[in-house]
Amino acid sequence: MKDKMKKYFIITYGCQMNEHDSEKLAGMLEAIDYHKAEEVEEADIILINTCTIRENAELRVFGKVGELKRLKENNPDLIIGVGGCMMQSEKAVRHLYEKHPQVDLIFGTHNIHHVPDLIKRIEKERSRIVEVWDEEEGLIPDLPSVRESDFKAWVSIIQGCNNFCTYCVVPYVRGRERSRPFKDIINEVEKLVAEGVKEITLLGQNVNSYGKDFKENIDFADLLQELDKIPALYRLRYMTSHPRDFSFKLIQVIKDTKAVCEHFHLPIQSGSNRILKKMNRGYSREKYLELVNKIRQEVPEAAITTDIIVGFPGETEEDFQETIDLVKEVRFDSAFTFIYSPRTGTPASKMEEQIPEDIKKERLSRLMALQNQISLEKNQAELGKVVEVLIEGESKNNPETLMGRDRRNKLVIIPKKDGLIGEIVNVRINKVQSFTLYGEVV
Which residues bind to ligand 5AD, rule: CB under 6 A?
53-54, 167-168, 267, 269, 307, 309, 338, 340-341, 343
Please report the DSSP string for 255-266 in residue order.
HH-SSB-SEEE-
**Cβ closer to ligand SF4: 199 or 219?**
219
* 176 phi/psi in degrees, rounded to 5: -75, 165
**Closer Cβ to ligand SF4, 240 or 379, answer by number:** 240
Distance in angstroms (rounded) separating the CA atoms of residues 421 and 399: 13
Site string for ligand SF4, 345-384 (x = CB under 6 A): ----------------------------------------
CA 203 to each of CA 30, 191, 363, 387: distance values in angstroms, whole numbers, following the listed order: 23, 17, 31, 25
- Burial (0-12, 13-18, 19+ Cβ within 10 Å), 3: exposed
- Identify which of residues 165 and 276 has a Cβ nearer to ligand SF4 in the complex: 165
The residue among 121, 56, 43, 48 whose CA lies nearest residue 84 is 48
308, 325 in Cβ contact below 8 A?
no
Q: Among residues 76, 102, 100, 89, which one has the least CA distance to residue 50?
A: 89
Question: Residue 166 binds which one of ligand SF4, ligand 5AD, none, with CB within 5 to 8 A depending on kind?
Answer: none
Paired residues of 431 in beta bridges: 438
Task: Kindly tell me which of 47 and 355 has the beta carbon lying closer to ligand 5AD.
Answer: 355
**Which neighbouring-strand residues pair with 369?**
none
Start-to-end CA span in the chain (Å): 56
Closer Cβ to ligand 5AD, 181 or 345, answer by number: 345
C-alpha distances (whole Å) from 284 to each of 244, 270, 272, 291, 322 are: 9, 10, 8, 11, 12
Number of Cα atoms under 13 Å in the Cβ half of residue 421:
10
Closest distance of CB 186 from ligand 5AD, Å: 28
- The site string for ligand SF4 over 164-203 (x = CB under 6 A, - otherwise) reads xx--x-xx--------------------------------
DSSP 8-state assignment for residue 197: -
Strands 6-12 and 34-36: parallel
Helix runs in 142-181, H state only: 170-174
Q: How far is the CB of 161 from ligand SF4 (least distance, A)?
A: 3
**Which residue(s) pair with 386 in the sheet?**
428
- How far, in Å, CA of 135 to CA of 118, rounded? 19
Q: Which residues contact 356 (CB under 8 A, 6 or more apart)?
A: none
Is there a contact between 437 and 430 (Cβ–Cβ < 8 Å)?
A: no
Per rule CB under 6 A, is residue 242 in the interface with ligand SF4? yes
Q: Which of 161, 221, 266, 327 binds ligand SF4 (CB under 6 A)?
A: 161
Burial class from Cβ neighbours inside 10 Å (0-12, 13-18, 19+) for residue 222 reads: middle
Residue 164's binding partner, choosing from ligand SF4, ligand 5AD, none, with beta-carbon cut-off 5 to 8 A by kind? Answer: ligand SF4
Is 251 among the residues that bind ligand SF4 (CB under 6 A)? no
405 binds, among ligand 5AD, ligand SF4, none (CB under 5 to 8 A by kind): none
| Among the listed residues 12, 22, 50, 163, the single contact to ligand SF4 using CB under 6 A | 163
Q: By CB under 6 A, which span of 67-75, 123-131, 156-164, 378-386 interacts with ligand SF4?
A: 156-164
- In the bound state with ligand SF4, the residue whose beta carbon lies nearer, of 119 and 348, is 348
Could you tell me where the DSSP H helices lie in 196-316?
Answer: 220-228, 248-256, 273-279, 285-298
242 binds, among ligand 5AD, ligand SF4, none (CB under 5 to 8 A by kind): ligand SF4
Q: Nearer to ligand 5AD by C-beta: 200 or 309? A: 309
Minimum separation from the CB atom of position 54 to ligand 5AD (A)? 5
Site string (198-227) toward ligand SF4, x via CB under 6 A: -------xx---------------------
Closest approach of ligand 5AD to the CB of residue 348, in Å:
7
Nearer to ligand SF4, 81 or 108 (CB): 108
The nearest distance, CB 274 to ligand 5AD, in angstroms, is: 18
SS3 429: strand
- Binding site partner of 205, from ligand 5AD, ligand SF4, none, Cβ cut-off 5-8 A by kind: ligand SF4
Residue 220 contacts which entry, ligand SF4, ligand 5AD, none (Cβ below 5-8 A, type-dependent)? none
Given ligand SF4, ligand 5AD, none, residue 18, with its beta carbon under 5 to 8 Å by kind, binds none
CA dihedral 298, 304, 307, 313 (to 10 degrees): 60
Per partner kind, with CB cut-offs from 5 to 8 A, the member of ligand 5AD, ligand SF4, none near residue 341 is ligand 5AD
Footprint of ligand SF4 on this chain (CB under 6 A)? 161, 163-165, 168, 170-171, 205-206, 242
